[in-house]
Structure 1
Amino acid sequence: MTRDFPEYALARARELATGTARWEPITPRAAATVLLLRETPLGLETYMMCRASTMAFAASAYVFPGGRLDPEDYDRGQVLDEEVINLASLSVRMSADPAQTRGLLMCAVRELEEEAGVVIDPHALVLLDHWVTPEWEHLRYDVRFFITHMPEDQIAQPHGTEAVEARWLTPSAAIREADQGKILLMAPTRAALEHLLDHTEIATLVAASDARDIVPRMDRLQIEADGYEHWTIVHDRTGEILERNRPVPPIEAAGVQ
């Protein structure tokens, strides 16, 4: 399954790249998503949901439970022990102030319970990645990706109307199915899965995640002086190019123009 990159989005990306845009990118909303993990004989598996085709954002895509930060999450965040989560250090790694860091952790907990029926300890969340929806999109999110273990005494299952199905998948299986056109993965989702590929235990993944520099990444079209166009990944806050000659990113806000 693929989603063609629409002409309107390419036109907007080119306007941004050439400085000819007469519009301002919308401000992305802070959000959190959770890779719920379990260890199996096949390796690590993560819980993924297929979003309904009617959704404005990531329609028909396989995603992890998550959603945008709500004002109430800030209040809930006051229960967190800042020494246990190492609030000052975590805030730097999350590119957030301490209040937003607390809120995003509680957002992750709330969304996981709302969408999968699983209740977790927010202190057990580990930061995995950070992605920002590209500037040409009409819906944008500033998303922190977290990992945590699946509680043995609970069952994950879809709640609400956003998902049409849910499955436990190894990262290699999810990526393989995407490459075969069986499922749709957004670029940030695929990147998160790739972080899992070299690990069979949650503990080693946590250690690797804690040791890795995490910055807010975003897809952007780059047009060189000779007219050569290529996709890059940039640091969202600084604009520094982190990767060049990337594949064309799937559009995320399908149907929103």
Structure 2
Amino acid sequence: MGITVHGLKLPESLRGRIEDVRSGRAEPVPARPAATVAVLRDHEKYGLQAFMLRRVRSMAFAPGAYVFPGGSVDPRDGEADLAWSGPSPDEWGKAFSADRTLARELVCAAVRETFEETLVLLAGHTAETVVDDTRGADWEADRQALLDRSQSFAGFLDRRGLVLRSDLLRPWTHWITPKIEPKRYDTRFFVAAIPAGQRAGDVSTEADRVAWVRPAEAAERGRDGEWPMLPPTVATLAELAEFDSVADVLAASRRIIAHEPTAEIIDGEAYLVLPESAARHYKRDERADRG
């Protein structure tokens, strides 16, 4: 997709869909609640890094794109009978402009999906501890049971005597898939440090490559088209590139605003028009080269 002053140029094949949605001839697909987590670490040599996955090309949504771990909410993520430490669902709801139930689902989905896709688990046996190693056949069996939905996330935590550590997460941003897309997500973005002792693994069948990468480098590859990437991912990476360490990211004060790009016909061509908060990250500036 070429970059213009208007945003991102879209394939001509989407022009009919844009016109149908804008005229009311086609109804937009409802956006499903989802959560994604930028898992971060401080590298001795390279500084701040984020863990990213490349989605397999057979995926219906964003095939071949580099993404953060995450996915849609499972209805059982809202189960109330799980041990919880840290900010309450009410507090998360205020941060993300969500009701209590949805906020609880989003936090649980963030922790569950991160474990399913990377083996990173933001939970511990007490409110002050965190699991230090999730490798091994028993953990893999639990991961598979979560994937095939034969075990709920609450059931998994309860059986292992674990407490969800919502205090290890921070709210970061909120993006909604454009109305022209056949699959749409209403996604809250979180950030979190990888717990000491844990290792992010290449375990997801939805990904064919994983990498720890400096946010500035990843954002540049996304802008240049070297790494296929959705605009919210580029924008988030560019924002993270402004920080020097995980501690700086976690301490950042964030005002969460929902961003929803729009698709428009401009001068006879189809464009994805980005919010200014994202469009500015497609402009080269000194922050993109930090790190």
Range class of TM-score, shorter chain = 0.7 to 0.9
Larger Rg computed on CA atoms: 2
Partner of 1:204: 248
* Partners of 1:130 and 1:215 within 8 A in 2: yes
Partner of 2:208: 164
Root mean square deviation, CA, Å: 2.9
* Partners of 1:30 and 1:69 within 8 A in 2: yes
Counterpart amino acid of 2:27?
A: E
Partner of 2:34: 31
SS at match of 2:276: strand
* Partners of 2:35 and 2:70 within 8 A in 1: yes
1:171 Cα deviation (Å)?
0.7
1:216 equivalent among 258, 271, 278: 258
For residues 14-56 of structure 1, give each alpha carbon's deviation from its aligned partner in whole angstroms, at most 9, with x where no partner exists: 3444xx1312101111011111000123221010000101100
Aligned length: 233
2:15 equivalent among 4, 7, 10: 10
1:58 Cα deviation (Å)?
1.0
1:131 Cα deviation (Å)?
0.4
Counterpart amino acid of 1:218?
A: E
Cα distance in 2, alignment partners of residues 114 and 217 from structure 1 = 27
For residues 132-184 of structure 1, give each alpha carbon's deviation from its aligned partner in whole angstroms, at most 9, with x where no partner exists: 11000000001111000011211111223100010000011112222443211
Does residue 91 (structure 1) correspond to residue 93 (structure 2)? The answer is: yes
For residues 35-80 of structure 1, give each alpha carbon's deviation from its aligned partner in whole angstroms, at most 9, with x where no partner exists: 1000123221010000101100110000011110001111167533
Partner of 1:142: 186
SS at match of 1:191: helix
Partner of 2:77: 73
1:243 Cα deviation (Å)?
3.1
Cα distance in 1, alignment partners of residues 222 and 106 from structure 2 = 29
Normalising by structure 1, what TM-score?
Answer: 0.81
Cα distance in 1, alignment partners of residues 204 and 277 from structure 2 = 39
1:223 Cα deviation (Å)?
6.2
SS at match of 1:56: coil
Judged with a 3 Å threshold, the aligned counterparts in structure 2 of structure 1 residues 77 and 62 are, in CA distance, closer, same or farther, namely: farther
Cα distance in 2, alignment partners of residues 132 and 77 from structure 1 = 30
Does residue 116 (structure 1) correspond to residue 158 (structure 2)? The answer is: no
1:4 Cα deviation (Å)?
7.4
Identity within the alignment, %: 34
1:128 equivalent among 158, 172, 177: 172
Judged with a 3 Å threshold, the aligned counterparts in structure 2 of structure 1 residues 230 and 113 are, in CA distance, closer, same or farther, namely: closer
